[in-house]
A and B are shown apart, each in its own frame.
Chain A
Amino acid sequence: NAGVTQTPKFRILKIGQSMTLQCAQDMNHNYMYWYRQDPGMGLKLIYYSVGAGITDKGEVPNGYNVSRSTTEDFPLRLELAAPSQTSVYFCASSSPGEVNTEAFFGQGTRLTVV
């Protein structure tokens, strides 16, 4: 049972480059999320999706794009990378409902923009 899988684990980008962070889950969860974690700041929601074909902005969406073509995959796209996007990125998934609403997180992607 893999849970939430993120690739790559580490990446160094040059300013202005672009890349896609991959996220896949095998728990058949409808809800998926991207967070970024910066030291002393907790985790901030970038984008989320409540199902295939449906995405919406979170707290800090600028500079990012997402798509959700399948239930399993939720890639995060960085266009024109900037040093401010240096962070650790976490993908998460969960099921809707009042009971057992635990969000499961991947192991993260550490991105450095130089």
Chain B
Amino acid sequence: QQQVKQSPQSLIVQKGGISIINCAYENTAFDYFPWYQQFPGKGPALLIAIRPDVSEKKEGRFTISFNKSAKQFSLHIMDSQPGDSATYFCAASKGGGGNKLTFGTGTQLKVEL
């Protein structure tokens, strides 16, 4: 049972464009929604995270939009750069159980010049 569904599987964006990755979750007990960035040969690293009491969080060029009623959240990368080329994972967890993260299946982003 896949509790966090992520799309698209891969994405090609031109430099300067907007990259959008979407995730949907099923478990309404989830209360923490991070996005992780992973470069080849490296472990995932936290990019940005949101809790369900806000609908949007922005950090630099990265924004999470959160829709609690639809059980969906998305990552927007503005002014995408070749250095943003990586695999992005959305995830979710619920409080009281540590950070047992449930991950989406990942999106391979390639930003072309």
Q: Which residues of A contact B (CB under 8 A)?
A: 4, 31, 33, 35, 40-45, 48, 50, 58, 90, 92, 94, 96, 98, 101-103, 105-108
By Cβ-Cβ distance, the 7 closest A-B pairs, closest first, are A105-B43, A42-B103, A31-B98, A42-B105, A43-B103, A94-B99, A102-B46
A33, B90: Cα distance in complex, Å? 17
Q: Which residues in window 74-99 of B have CB below 8 A to A? A: 89, 93, 95, 98-99
A-B pair number, CB within 8 angstroms: 60
A-B contact pairs, 29 of them (CB 8 A): A31-B98, A33-B100, A33-B101, A35-B103, A40-B106, A42-B4, A42-B103, A42-B104, A42-B105, A42-B106, A43-B44, A43-B89, A43-B101, A45-B101, A45-B102, A48-B100, A50-B98, A58-B100, A90-B44, A92-B43, A94-B98, A94-B99, A96-B98, A101-B99, A102-B34, A103-B34, A103-B46, A103-B99, A108-B42
